[in-house]
Structure 1
């Protein structure tokens, strides 16, 4: 049962070389009671920028995978209610108000999905599989924990009711082709190690057909073609990540023989 006192919110941010985006995000978090940045030893000006915000707590922790880094961040938060936010995301005024109202609702659930608007540079991507993108961002950490078996595309284990917020996060994920390709490459590598840990072996047919299926599904079924050249780019890079997954799985499997 909720107390009559206002619930406090801890905002958690994981960073690595985010000098171009971290300042705007921290300025956007004026409604938070606590802000913690978990930095993976950035080599750019990220740390310097974060330290310029006197109310922000900076902790540096070696990055192993996304799940372990997020669970580490959870352990640092003083408050039960946490909001995970990435450096390439922004909150509207309406979303901030909704978050505050939600955590202070006596009937609040345990965790909340938040839909995201995918920004391709400075314009909205309407389709290409991103039109229904939602992710756990707001939750009561006393009732939630990230599944340690996942290394990327983390899975939150929730004890209690789950709901969805009405307002969306603005997701500035795509700034350049090379930047997004690098991100997709890293996701693919982590996913390969996750598969290997579960005992999966590389299969040539999956390496060929899974990326092809991903591209066609997102481009045709998920209406990526309606996004024009932007849709082609995003669908290709998402398929590229799948290809890297199997390529890396093959490499680490046979390197241990």
Structure 2
């Protein structure tokens, strides 16, 4: 009598979007192996939502953006399968990584979550250094064993009830489309980090506003070898430092706004 075979594990691919045309097409194509693809869109204005609406394999939902953690937590609730592959819209799963993901989730000894190392792309060429060499993120996990912590609203963090392992194949991250796009992204991240600091009652400091951006550039460009990425390294390291500067600018604005509100309500 033949033994019973183990049922194939199903997987949900989840993505959040806002104005992602030029990125989202490759991302969706790369997760076509998933049993369901769910995209939560923050009311895009560049045709992203319309593209997703017309895609036969995609279920798209629109939801207002509050912060990254809240949006990803909302998206996670929409999934019908326990295994989750959660990507950013500018990330692409290679064929080799697709195979590794399928093999991994069907392994009875699989961990509860998996870290992915990422290969960063500057337009269509690889960014080898500039501080990203050791970057890794949780992207594959069991829904029943993980949740996004509400202590961070940007660079969201997954809390895992169980063991995390690392996949061998890298996730391709098209981080840089053009200068204005990446600059806008870094400024938005900086503003969200300022809100996170404000909620944690961290106070604005002129010294930190001067030192932190300079340290960010020096650390990524010199210590983490961004200089070896040539002009690409200069651009990336400068814009990353600009994001840190914006964090302190925004924190100062938030504190002033809070002080003004306080004086307006005083009797």
Fold match by TM threshold 0.5: yes
Mapping 1:155-170, distance limit 5 Å: 155-170=157-172
Whole-angstrom CA distance in 2 between matches of 1:41 and 1:243: 28
TM-score (norm 1): 0.97
Q: Does 1:94 align with 2:96?
A: yes
Q: Contact between 1:83 and 1:138, CA under 8 Å: does it hold in 2?
A: yes
Alignment root-mean-square deviation, CA: 1.0
Structure with higher Rg: it is 2
Residue 226 of structure 2 corresponds to 224
Residue 241 of structure 1 corresponds to 243
User: Deviation per CA, 1:112-156, whole angstroms, max 9, x where unpaired?
Assistant: 000110101111011110111111100001111111121100111
Shift of 1:242: 0.6
Residue 86 of structure 2 corresponds to 84
Residue 51 of structure 2 corresponds to 49
Residue 10 of structure 2 corresponds to 8
Mapping 1:104-253, distance limit 5 Å: 104-253=106-255
Whole-angstrom CA distance in 2 between matches of 1:82 and 1:184: 27
Shift of 1:4: 2.1
Shift of 1:23: 2.1
User: Deviation per CA, 1:201-241, whole angstroms, max 9, x where unpaired?
Assistant: 00111000011011101111101111111111111111111
Q: Contact between 2:32 and 2:57, CA under 8 Å: does it hold in 1?
A: no
Shift of 1:29: 1.8
Q: Contact between 2:129 and 2:224, CA under 8 Å: does it hold in 1?
A: yes
Shift of 1:252: 0.3
TM-score (norm 2): 0.94
Whole-angstrom CA distance in 2 between matches of 1:193 and 1:255: 12
Gaps spanning 5+ residues in structure 1: where?
Answer: none
Q: Contact between 2:114 and 2:138, CA under 8 Å: does it hold in 1?
A: yes
Aligned residues: 255
Q: Contact between 2:129 and 2:228, CA under 8 Å: does it hold in 1?
A: yes
